[in-house]
Amino acid sequence: MEHRPSTRRSARLPRVDWRDRDRQMLAAARIAVQALRAEPGCPARLTRTAIARRMGHLSLIEQHMDRMPRTRAFLASVVESRGAYARRRLRWATEQFRMEGVAPSASQVGRRAGLRPDLATQLAEDVDRAVRSLEPTDLRRAS
C-alpha cells in the first residue's frame, strides 16, 4: 500500500488561452477576408469555411467557435448570402465587360456572372441596370 500512487489527482490548468487564441484567429480572419476579396478573376464567395481554409484553421473554426466570440461575430458580419455573392459577381462581370469595351445583352451579363436561373430572375433589375450602364453613350442618348 505504501508504494501505490496517490489517488488524488491534481487539477489540470487549461492548455489553451482562448482569449489569446480568439485574438489571433480574429487577426488571421481579417487577413484571410482581405486576401479572398483581392484575388484576381471571378470572386470567391465569402463563407466561414472558405475563410477558415484560407487561414489554415478549418477544424479549429468548425469545432471551437463557441470559445472565440469575437472571431465568430466578425465571421458572421462578413459571410455572404447567395444573393449578396451574386450581386458581387454581377458587379465583377459588369466591370469585366467595361474593361473589354463590350456592350453585352442581359443574358451575356448573367452568364459571365454565373447567375443561376432563380437568382437571375431575382436580380433582373440589377442585371438590367448593369446592361444599361454598359451601353455606348450614343445609344443611350438616342433612346
Residue 117 pLDDT? 83
Among 67, 78, 84, residue whose Cα is nearest residue 126: 84
Q: Give 3-state DSSP helix, strand, coil % of the chain, rounded to 5.
A: 70, 0, 30
Cα(92)–Cα(94) distance, integer angstroms: 5
The pTM of the whole model exceeds 0.85: no
The mean-pLDDT minimum among 40-49, 97-106, 129-138 falls in 129-138
DSSP letter (8 states) at residue 101 = T
Per the listing, cell 465569402 goes with: 46
List CB contacts of 96: < 8 A, sequence separation 6 or more: 112
